[in-house]
Amino acid sequence: MATHWIITDIDGCLTPEESVPWDLDGFWEFAHISRAASAGAHPVAPFILCTGRPQPYVECLMKLLDIRSPAICENGAVIYTLHDNHARYGPGVTEEKILALREVRAFIETDLLPQRPECIMQFGKEAQLSVYSEQPQVFPALMEDIAVFNQRQGGPELLINATHFYINISLAGIDKGNAIRAVAAELGLPSSAFTGIGDTVGDLAIQKNVRFFACPANAQEAVLHRADYVAPHPQVRGVLDILQHPEFQRS
């Protein structure tokens, strides 16, 4: 079975999850492979980036890696193509929902955060909201206030989840899986034409929409169990190992 594209997450796979300098040698090696793959000059198939990161961050990586496919940003809420510099909302995101989300953002910024100096809004996202704090014990009360406000406004269904240091507020029904299916339809390819790489539970949406899924050694437990192949190394070193697997070659 030929692999036409490799769908890969970014953080925890190509780069460290933490806010630290990258393994430049490893990343550089990956960048050379990606560029050659995009040019059809490498046995490895070319890449589709699929990440929670906002579009400007992804745009920069697409230029470094010569990514020519549409990229999935903000966990599926935004799809971006580099050649025409065109960003658009992913499937299920409507103007009405975006306006409602902006109301929620204004409420968080003007009503909640002035009383919570330990919390800050993450900048740069269009269709998701994230609040960061190193004191996550304050999250339950904040999450409750946000849910009550949205309900009072008659806003769209929201998913309000906490990770270690973030409250993430997303529109219900928007995820990496829906966006992958939309991109696959645009490319005119079945899921069997894709393989995937990811490291966290959100990336199981990649796993469900590809023929073969691999993860680096640092992946979360639930992902390690579901992967078809687990690399012996973490992060980009793991990805470089994964790319030698026959399933990630174009034929």
C-alpha 107: how far from its chain's center?
26
Interface with Mg ion (CB under 5 A), residue total: 5
CB-based closest residue to Mg ion: 12
Q: Which of 3, 7, 12, 81 binds Mg ion (CB under 5 A)?
A: 12
Helix (H) or strand (E) holding 62: helix 55-65
Q: Which of 8, 9, 72, 195 binds Mg ion (CB under 5 A)?
A: 9
Residues of span 59-78 touching Mg ion by CB under 5 A: none
Q: Of 138 and 230, which has the nearer Cβ to Mg ion?
A: 230
| Stretch binding Mg ion (CB under 5 A), from 117-125, 197-205, 223-231, 235-243 | 197-205
Q: Which positions ≥6 away from 226 have C-beta within 8 Å?
A: 204, 207, 213
Contact criterion met (CB below 8 Å) for 200 and 184:
no
Place of tokens 């993430």: 168
- Note whether 199 binds Mg ion by CB under 5 A: yes
- Note whether 11 binds Mg ion by CB under 5 A: yes
Place of tokens 């697409």: 62
Contact criterion met (CB below 8 Å) for 9 and 51:
yes
| Stretch binding Mg ion (CB under 5 A), from 18-26, 29-37, 131-139, 195-203 | 195-203
Binding site for Mg ion (CB under 5 A): 9, 11-12, 199-200
